[in-house]
Structure 1
Amino acid sequence: MILPIVAYGAPILRTVAKDINPDYPGLAKLIEDMWETMYASNGVGLAAPQINRDIRLFVVDSAQIFENMDSDDDDRKHPDAPGIKQVFINAHIKSLDGEEWAYNEGCLSIPKIREDVYRAAEVTLEYTDENFVPQTKTFNGITARVILHEYDHIEGKLFIDYLKPLKKRMLKGKLDDISKGKVRVDYKMTFPR
């Protein structure tokens, strides 16, 4: 089932999410719905707060970024090729490493706004997979970037929080329009009241 994406301005997007346990009600169906919602919205990641759940759960499919890359884009520049498709439950960052680099990010909860954001090149996470098997893995490149973007959602942060104050002031009108529902998107969205 395709779920509505929560728009900028909703308090859930500023909430630090809670860890869950294997008996979380309807978890398998929720994960299935998150994948369906993410793909229907043309996203590469989706976090539970974006569908109005305050739990530490997100899904990432960076493989589709590589599948859609131009053939002249050199894979050697992307140590994480061919990407991942993975579920992250109860994720917590162990370490951030490598030089920060800029990438133009967008967010399903903040439609029609894209900005360059600097993030670490590498992240090591402790998390459990969808079967609650504990994992500790290091990710890099674009995959690390998508993971860090989704991780921020479960920490109550948004990519616009990384922007300089002047840039944020310049975006204020657009952000206000999003929170008031004055934006058109081609996916299901729910706006703050």
Structure 2
Amino acid sequence: MLNEIKAKTKERMLKTIQSFHDDMKGVRTGRANASLLDGIVVNIYGGHQKLNQVAGVSAIDNKTLSVKVWDATAIGEVKNAIINANLNLNPVVEGNTIRIVLPDLTQETREKLVKLLHQFSENARVAIRNIRRDVMEEIEEMKKNKEISEDDFHVAKKEIQNITDDNVKKVDDDLSIKEKDILHH
């Protein structure tokens, strides 16, 4: 029973970290990266499609992204979606391809991006701690109902805390790497 709880805890925390990574992908580092456009949704064909479902995105060099739109009639919608994504990008249409030259990041912009990263990391830490709290309540209830012994309770409590600490450290380490990437490029 406790092993199931630990496994479930690890899984939930892993999903939180994955969500944190997804949030970080959308933050520019100063280098062209196709994942920068991952969150863009295009209003097309009477619905909403993710950009990567209507176009291929690739980095040509450190400063330029290329968006190859598969359906030439959709190029205007794709361009508008990129403009409306509030990424401060200026797409230029060249046939079926949209070129995006990334502007250099100013120090002020870098600092804003780092603040945003810290916000994402704090949200992840809070989510991890909430998972810990839920699990701790669950094992305390088990102890109260005599489903587990006092010793098992203390061992489980310590293991859950270790899992929590490891995941919070992972968030902090990943934040540090991304922060350095932004500030030093």
Could you tell me the TM-score, scaled by structure 1's length?
0.26
Which one has a bigger Cα radius of gyration? 2
Larger % of strand: which? Answer: 1
Higher relative contact order (CA 8 A, sep 6+): 1
Could you tell me the TM-score, scaled by structure 2's length?
0.27
Larger % of helix: which? Answer: 2
